[in-house]
Homo-oligomer: A and B are copies of this chain.
Amino acid sequence: MGFGFIIFAGAQLLRLPMASESGQSTSFIDALFTATSATCVTGLVVFDTGTYFSTFGHWVILVLIQIGGIGFMTMATLFALILRRRISLKERLILQESLNQGSIEGLVRLVRKVILFALAIESVGAVLFTIRFMFDMNIGQAIYHGVFHSISIFNNAGFDLTGDFRSLTGYSSDLYMNVVSMGLIILGGFGFIVLADLFEIRRKRKFSLHTKVVLSVTALLVVSGTLIIFLFEFTNGRSFGNNGIGHKILISLFQSVTTRSGGVTTVDITEFRQATQFFIIILMFIGASPGSTGGGIKTTTFAVLVGAVLAMIRGKEDVVLFRLRLAQERVYKAVTVTLFCIGIVMLGTMLLATTEDAAFLTILFEATSAFGTVGLSMGLTGELSFTGKLTIIFLMFIGRLGPLTLTYALGPKPGRMLYRHAEGKMIIG
């Protein structure tokens, strides 16, 4: 698997003495952890990125993020488009024909387009960040920090150079930094198809169902997340302090956005109330949109789940979104993939609960953050045992590739249903 190879190569580079600031070589497990976290654009870290790694180390991490983020985005977009074509034509032979010379050129053009989109947004982000950092450091440093944070945040990687595991807590009241960061997280989390749809809206005049669902679910999650975090926390002096109400709303908004799977934070999550932390766990599990740099079960899957439960309660057979019915097999897939993901998070939580000495909520938080490739932390990652690190590495890897693989790569193979078992009857519920 390509991803595994990239992670392994990255880990070898990060082990080198020249990758660390101290000039000492890093243990294999910690290098592997960092490489996995970068390539799976998660952002959970065993070391403080800014102070532990050298400039060489930072570049290795940045390249891993770029390959991991854009690579995955491209792959997921291709999968989705090929699948979409397959379903709409309902004819496998035509698909095989369409993958001939002419179509491969089309695919290359598409890949180029995805990369150009990403690089364009990252460039704008880098410039905007650099302008801000020039107030705090010299121009060379500012460019370095600007480029690193733009790439890290657009790819929803959650790595930062601010030092001392601070993430963006120093900028919690800085409107400019907040807006640029949230913009990059959200754009990165939309996925290419939505970005292209947004970009070409003048020509097309109408959004696809996919784009409509992504935009509305994202808006719903961000707004309701902000509201609930604000309500739960505005009397909590330890998390929100004595800040003004505007500042508190800004922190709530940023916190809500970053669960889409940004991973940077402007506030210490450990100080939140339990209810807020559990709510953030749910938001992280939902995550970003398909074919994006973000993780989780995806906004569209969440929309299908809500639709399926509503349809069941109302006694309807069809799941309907925006007056369009979803194919039964897609609904089924969404529900099953979600259950699988819940199972994986539970398995990871169980493993961590046996090997780590921490409160259960902290463990569940860290496991979900790893699985959703979010990178928010309640501090457990810094204290993990060896097997704990392996568990988190496993969660990050399967969290990044699992949902996509299960949805597309492992679909029923055509022409293999040579015989079916007889139908049996059983009582459920």
Q: Mark A270-309, 1 if CB is under 8 A from B, else 0.
A: 0001110111001000000011000001101101110011
For A404, list chain B residues within 8 Å (CB): 429
CB-contact partner of A346 in B193, B282, B300, B427, under 8 A:
B282
A89 at the B interface (CB under 8 A): no
In the complex, the answer to whether A407 meets B429 with C-beta atoms within 8 Å is: yes
| Bound CA–CA A325/B290 (angstroms) | 32
Q: Mark A347-384, 1 if CB is under 8 A from B, else 0.
A: 00110011000011101100000000000000000000
Q: Mark A327-355, 1 if CB is under 8 A from B, else 0.
A: 11011111111111011001001100110
Find the B residue at minimum CB distance from A429.
B407
Smallest beta-carbon distance A284→chain B, Å: 13
| Bound CA–CA A220/B339 (angstroms) | 20
For A300, list chain B residues within 8 Å (CB): 426-428
Binds B, one of A148-156, A246-254, A312-320, A391-399: A312-320
In the complex, the answer to whether A320 meets B421 with C-beta atoms within 8 Å is: yes
Known: A318-B420, A420-B325. A426 touches B350 (CB 8 A): no
For A278, list chain B residues within 8 Å (CB): 349-350, 353, 360
For A334, list chain B residues within 8 Å (CB): 428-429
A91 at the B interface (CB under 8 A): no
| Bound CA–CA A20/B343 (angstroms) | 45
A425 at the B interface (CB under 8 A): yes
In the complex, the answer to whether B332 meets A332 with C-beta atoms within 8 Å is: yes
In the complex, the answer to whether A410 meets B313 with C-beta atoms within 8 Å is: yes
Find the B residue at minimum CB distance from A406.
B312
Find the B residue at minimum CB distance from A305.
B339
| Bound CA–CA A290/B428 (angstroms) | 6
A interface residues with partner B (beta carbon < 8 Å)? 80, 83-84, 87-88, 193, 208-210, 213, 232, 273-275, 277-279, 282, 290-291, 297-298, 300-301, 303-305, 308-309, 312-318, 320-328, 330-340, 342-343, 346, 349-350, 353-354, 359-361, 363-364, 403-404, 406-408, 410-413, 416-417, 420-429
